[in-house]
Structure 1
């Protein structure tokens, strides 16, 4: 069995995992969106309280359209919550809201992996746009060095994805601890919270895995051409 065939045997299952992870995060979110928390607190209220108790009164929370469009913007110190999360009082809504606040707290505490991700983001943004053209151009014009440069740029994006994993897991862990200790959820509801946050984390794991395998495949092709 050739190297390429072996790598495709790994990449194809990883690609299937990515699709399944996307399906799972949406289905899990929808399932627990139908289950209100006993405290009755909304995603916005939980997020606001979590920010204030951590000395982040200056961080604003704004509703945004779209499903699972939630994110924390470190530039303008704003937490954007999808309308369903912002206004909802379900296990899904509170889980997602508190996860995003976890990122705001990471920013305040200069969590090392988050700081590293912020520093390399401009490079990654450039590299992700350039890498495909360099690799494609190298193959089209049979220019091995161009492929090599493309692989280097692609490697930067893979490193970024790998750095993202501990950032996301840490934010979820922070969220789960606060949600229980502050009474946003009961101990019995923590299972549902875990389901929602773990499903979301799986999408990052799957994306990083398939990118890493593709990088290994490209490096193998580059070495064979040399």
Structure 2
């Protein structure tokens, strides 16, 4: 991982255009080929980013990040580099889910029709460049659905599912992909954010799932 702190402006050129004016920012270049631009707020969410595969061309005062498939670009105009360091993190062991959360995923995958008649499982732990989606399945109309499962549903879980959906919807074989946020308990703020982003919320009853009874049904 390479960490660069620089005074820079950022222009996104692609299906849409966006501009970040000159300011100090953190530029994060990961081993997976992703590049993201961060400010000193917004928690973990970047101001702008480019998912892999992408190529970085560094020139004096200008970096150009080009996506290998779409040709979209991030153009960074560098006024001053304040810090530049690289760190080898090695292979990450991944997120270890607690027992209840992992069991919820297993039960729901094995009995995906508890979400609706005609639903079918594609895969548990569906791999993506930014981590595995808990469950990928198809609904009764054949549409692709990404499910994020939590024991307690918070805003960060909705943010996580949003990032998965942004990535999955770039795959023409899967798109359009809609999201389902499933948890034993979902906080009101998380429900509001999910609804604003078109994500369905489902409250799971752990004991009912263990007995293979129906949970909240979407359709």
- TM-score w.r.t. the length of structure 1 is 0.26
Give the number of the structure with larger relative contact order, counting CA–CA contacts within 8 Å between residues 6 or more apart.
1
Could you say which structure has the higher strand fraction? 2
Could you say which structure has the higher helix fraction? 1
- TM-score w.r.t. the length of structure 2 is 0.27
